[in-house]
Structure 1
Amino acid sequence: MMDRLAVDDVVTDYAGAVDDGDWTAYRELFTADGRADYRSAGGIEGEAGQVAGWLAQSLAVFATRQHLIVNRRVRFGVLEHDTGDTARVRADYLNPMRLTAAGDRGAPDLECGGRYDFGLLRTREGWRLREVVVHEKWRRTQERRPVGVTG
């Protein structure tokens, strides 16, 4: 049960780091060889530091981000020929974001949803991400009208 809670905390910390733009915290969630794959969402695949740089640049256009990671299915295992424990998490996500538009309260929103596959490894420092794979299933934008405008 303690491992389940610790793994859940890593997934929650991942969402918080991305939403808050805390790229140092994002990198620290990964093992030294950790990788992330955002290609299904139009992004890149690579080592965690490289992907953090890409995320920082790509997400800078959003004033507000909020990952909702739900339906978390956690499975534990042991690496072959290794004493390290592993975990796999499959979880659905909904990610509403508000685009930045200086002085424009009518900026469009962007929402997307899909599924994450997280691979984790127990290390001396605790559970860390070895891989994150995003499977975006849908995306939409919605034009927002300034407050008080109808029609």
Structure 2
Amino acid sequence: MATRLPLSDTEAMTQRVDLATLMDRLAIDELITRYAVAVDDADWAAYRGLFTTDGRADYRDAGGVAGRAGEVADWLAQTLRSFPVRQLLVVNRRVSIEDLGGYPGDSAEALADYLRPMRTEAGDGSVSGGRYTFVLARTEGGWRLRTVVAHEKWRRARGALSAE
């Protein structure tokens, strides 16, 4: 069995920084997942809670509105009522955390692709896809969304989309 030498101060610090960055990435990933779940479940209180106090969302490129997170949540609640069947899939996440000379900072950006099928009670609906840009800030309560911007790349709409 090999004898393990104690870590140097530099090696120990590097491991702590790497661990902090890893924990930040996991927290950001969880936040983006909670965003998708809040939209799917129409949990607008949870949606509002994901944002900083000055947080904004911009869905204009996908046919929606832009504004403060609370105002956009109200618009989503009204608009998505027409689509009781929906599932927001957020994938291919690329996270960049501010680098403060080797230490993780308090801001980050994540790019993530999305796929969003939706269907009305009558069976009409659409499927769209695109990319989100999430700008995040570390707060006393953890990572929060400062801005969310949807960049729709494509949409297919038709009647009687099947759930099968």
Is the structural similarity TM-score above 0.5?
Answer: yes
Q: Which position in structure 1 is the counterpart of 2:147?
A: 131
Q: CA deviation at 1:37?
A: 0.3
Please give the secondary structure, in 2, of the residue aligned with 1:61. Answer: coil
Query: Which of 76, 86, 102 in structure 1 is aligned with 2:97?
Result: 76
Shift >3 Å, 4+ stretches: none
Give the gaps of 5 or more residues in structure 2: 1-21
Deviation string, structure 1 residues 7-28 (Cα, Å, up to 9, x no partner): 0000000000001100000000
Q: CA deviation at 1:100?
A: 2.2
Greater fraction of residues in helix: 2
Structure of larger gyration radius: 2
Alpha-carbon distance in structure 2 between the residues aligned to 1:145 and 1:86: 40
Q: What is the RMSD of the two structures over their aligned residues, measured on CA atoms?
A: 1.8
Q: Output the TM-score relative to the length of structure 1.
A: 0.86
Residues 145 and 30 of structure 1: CA distance in aligned 2, closer, same or farther (over 3 Å): closer
Give the gaps of 5 or more residues in structure 1: 102-106, 147-151
Q: Output the TM-score relative to the length of structure 2.
A: 0.79
Matched length: 138
Q: Does structure 2 retain, via aligned residues, the 8 Å contact 1:78–1:85?
A: no
Q: CA deviation at 1:78?
A: 5.9
Please give the secondary structure, in 2, of the residue aligned with 1:144. Answer: coil
Query: Which of 116, 119, 124 in structure 2 is aligned with 1:98?
Result: 119
